[in-house]
Structure 1
Amino acid sequence: MKKKWVLRGLVILLILIADIGLDRISKNYIRHNFRYYEEILPFKNNLHYLITRVENSGAFLSLGDSLGNPWRFMLLTLMPAAVLLFGLAYIIIKTNLHKLTVLGIILVLAGGMGNLYDRWVYGSVTDFMLIKYPWFKTGVFNVADVSIMIGVGLLLVQSFISDRKTKKIVDNQQVISK
């Protein structure tokens, strides 16, 4: 039992380190090699994917960037730090979670930690990826944001799968009781 718990902890730690490491490396590269708002097309003959450097002092889509400093620090640094600590404790303590749920939470935590590090050290988050189509355009985002979105997607998929299994069990019990 203890061996399984240690292995689980190591897997969680390795995924966190790999994800945060990729985020740090990509942001450091952008921060040291790109000027603000400089645009680069990473793929020849493809105008839909751009690399551009933006420093975001707010949250997702720059929400909260106009808040005064004590409020911005509390809402965008202290509160996320508390939520991330709670999430980390949750996946460590709750050993009966589905693997997809754990992976989803880990990815959300890693992305949150990557962006929180930027906010804490630099006062803003470095964003650099942009997708532009005539019918669809993203805000500028980073590897941590992608990690968060994939993590949320996995949590939604797991929730849907779990709901379907629960509904099937309830339906079967109703058939048996009739």
Structure 2
Amino acid sequence: MNRNLFITLLIIFNIAIDQISKVIVRTTMIRGSKGQINVIKDYFQLIWVENKGAFLGMGSDMNPTLRLLFLLILPTLVLGYVVYYILKTKSLDQLSLIAFCCIVGGGIANVFDRIVFGQVTDFFYINLGGVFRTGIFNVADLSVTTGMVMLLFSGVFTNKKKEKALD
């Protein structure tokens, strides 16, 4: 498959699954804890919230000008640069390329929500007792996080390959 087509399709796929999941949540759930759905007991729940901020609501109390700058303009510029970078850097390994596409797709999906709705729809919640607990997040956040983890793995594997090559 053509590399640029692969990049485009992967980014679109990430945006689509996020937006489809959010439409389903907005049309079938009740907002807040009253509409909470226990998927796996209290460990994995669906709770629909609208987030005016970024990760875990950070920035939701910023004045509108700062929110526009830090949650719309700056992320859009960064996402634009990452798209440029992955299109121009032909030497990226496959794992890094997929990782960047996940990050860009998730980022675009959340920026789209901020532009269209003024906030981001979140609905996943994980609580493994005292061991691990998340804030409420969405598929786009999952895409970005997965992409970041993939980039870390890619960096580790690349460094190990370089070390072996030097031996």
TM-score, scaled relative to structure 2:
0.94
Q: Identical aligned pairs, as a percentage?
A: 34
Structure 1 position 141 matched with structure 2 position 132: no
Letter in 1 for 2:43: H
Runs of 4 or more consecutive aligned structure 1 residues displaced over 4 Å after TM superposition: none
Letter in 2 for 1:168: K
Instruction: State the SS of the aligned residue for 2:127.
Output: strand
Letter in 2 for 1:162: T
* Match for residue 31 of structure 2 among 30, 36, 53: 36
Measured in 2, the distance between the counterparts of 1:134 and 1:17 equals 35
Letter in 2 for 1:75: F
Alignment match, 1:175: none
Structure 1 position 126 matched with structure 2 position 131: no
Structure 1 position 164 matched with structure 2 position 157: no
Q: Unaligned stretches of 5+ in structure 2?
A: none
Query: After superposition, where does 1:9-88 map in structure 2 within 5 Å?
Result: 9-37=4-32, 38-43=35-40, 46-88=41-83
Measured in 2, the distance between the counterparts of 1:111 and 1:125 equals 12
Measured in 2, the distance between the counterparts of 1:34 and 1:107 equals 26
Q: Unaligned stretches of 5+ in structure 1?
A: 173-178
Query: After superposition, where does 1:104-119 map in structure 2 within 5 Å?
Result: 104-119=99-114
Measured in 1, the distance between the counterparts of 2:90 and 2:107 equals 22
Q: What is the CA distance between 1:164 and its match in structure 2?
A: 1.4
TM-score, scaled relative to structure 1:
0.88
Measured in 1, the distance between the counterparts of 2:29 and 2:119 equals 16
* Structure with larger Rg: 1
RMSD over aligned Cα atoms: 1.2
